[in-house]
Amino acid sequence: MASLLDLRRRIKSVKNTQKITKAMELVAAAKMRRAQERLLAARPYADEIAGVTEELMRRSSGHRHPLLQVREVRRRCLIVITADRGLAGALNSNTIRLALREMNSTPDIPCSVVSVGRKGRDSLRRMGKQFVADVSSYGDRPTLGELLPAMRVAMQEYTRGEVDRVDVVYSQFASAGRQEATVQCLLPIAIPEVASGPAVDFEYEPEARDVIDALLPRYVEAQVYRAVLENIASEQAARMLAMHSASDNASDLIADLTLTANKVRQATITTELMEVVAGSAAG
């Protein structure tokens, strides 16, 4: 059994660790709230661009943009979005596991990877996956310009016919207590249905076909950027929960160590008393 001094040192060490985990929990909670605000601010733009794109598609039904072409899937590309840092529970591992499951579901179809985030890049690289682009160290407030190179590589791969399908894998932010690894088809574009409302007649300059040619790449970029913001909010929520659990575990460990230390101290006092009594009796 450990000595009383060792137990006290360990209790002090666990208490110091608990202070760190509590501080990290508070920081993650503050960052999560800011990430939620950015996510909510980005949603109206993504919804509006989807509505305008649907209206343009209706007006130019005979126009087929390269990003809308549906082909037989012979090669795939996955945009895997993970965090740059750990200490976020099973968030990154769940996303990587889903990406691997997507790759292994069609073993006869080659799959290339565009990684956003260091954790996914490092894990998939160790497994020997083929990379075509990589973005990492994008921080808590990434700009669209920082992510554009990876997005454009994926779009170019599709328009050149080098891949026939592009999917994005990320962690969707459902709530502070629930984050779900999600896979979403990015290309070919399937324009979502928007809520019905008053019909608005727009006038386009130049023609609707020219506008849609310029708008569809922006639509893809908006969807990927939104997925990155979802993943950042999920990362901070998962880190907050992980640090809260770590603090609770530290409290339990401190209680167990304190109980053990009290038992050792009591046993030491009892032994000393017995030695005193035995010495008195012998005298």
Of 221, 237, 253, at which residue does a domain stop?
Answer: 237
In this structure, are 77 and 157 located in the same domain?
Answer: yes
Buried-exposed string 177-204: b where 16+ CB fall within 10 A, e elsewhere = eebebbbeebbbbebeeeeeeeeeeeee
The mean predicted confidence, pLDDT, of the chain is 86
> Do 222 and 99 share a structural domain?
yes
- Regarding whether 48 and 169 lie in a shared domain, the answer is yes
Q: Of 237, 253, 269, which closes a domain? A: 237
- 261: domain CATH number is 1.10.287.80
Q: Residue 202: its pLDDT value, please?
A: 63
Supply the CATH number for residue 51's domain: 3.40.1380.10
Residues 206, 271, single domain; the answer is no
Task: Evaluate whether residue 73 is within a structural domain.
Answer: yes
How confident is the model at residue 137, as a pLDDT?
Answer: 86
pLDDT at 201 over 70: no
Q: What domain count does the chain have?
A: 2
User: Domain containing 36: what range?
Assistant: 30-237
pLDDT value of position 138: 86
Examine the domain organization and report whether 67 and 192 are in the same domain.
yes
Same domain, 112 and 160: yes
Are 227 and 251 within one domain?
no
Confirm if 202 and 263 have CB atoms less than 8 A apart. Answer: no
119 and 65 within one domain? yes
Cα dihedral sign for 239, 174, 143, 225?
positive
Report d(CA 142, CA 77) in Å as an integer: 23
Q: Based on the fold, state whether residues 269 and 205 are members of the same structural domain.
A: no
pTM (2 decimals)? 0.83
Tokens 């700009």: give the residue: 143
- Of the pLDDT bands very low, low, confident and very high (cuts 50, 70, 90), residue 62 is low
Tokens 């053990």 found at: 260
pLDDT, tens only, 159-193? 988 999 999 999 999 888 888 999 999 888 876 55
Whether residues 160 and 203 share a domain: the answer is yes
Residues 231, 93 within the same domain: yes
Facing residues of 184 across strands?
A: 168
- 10 and 135 assigned to the same domain: no
Q: Report percent pLDDT > 90 for the chain.
A: 41
Name the residue type at position 110: P
In the predicted model, is pLDDT for residue 13 greater than 90? yes
Residue 198 has a pLDDT of 52
Share of the chain above pLDDT 70, in %: 91
Q: What are 113's strand-pairing partners?
A: 78, 131
> Average pLDDT, stretch 73-100?
92
The answer as to whether 283 is a domain residue is no
User: What are the helix (H) ranges across the chain?
Assistant: 4-59, 91-105, 118-126, 144-159, 208-282
| Residue 188: cis peptide before it, omega within 30 degrees of 0 | yes
Is the pLDDT score of 49 beyond 70? yes
Calpha distance 120→92 (Å, rounded): 7
Instruction: Read off the tokens for 275.
Output: 């030695």
Instruction: Determine the average pLDDT of the residues in 2-6.
Output: 83
Q: What would the pLDDT profile of 207-247 be if each residue is shown by its tens digit? A: 767 777 888 888 888 889 989 999 999 999 999 999 999 99
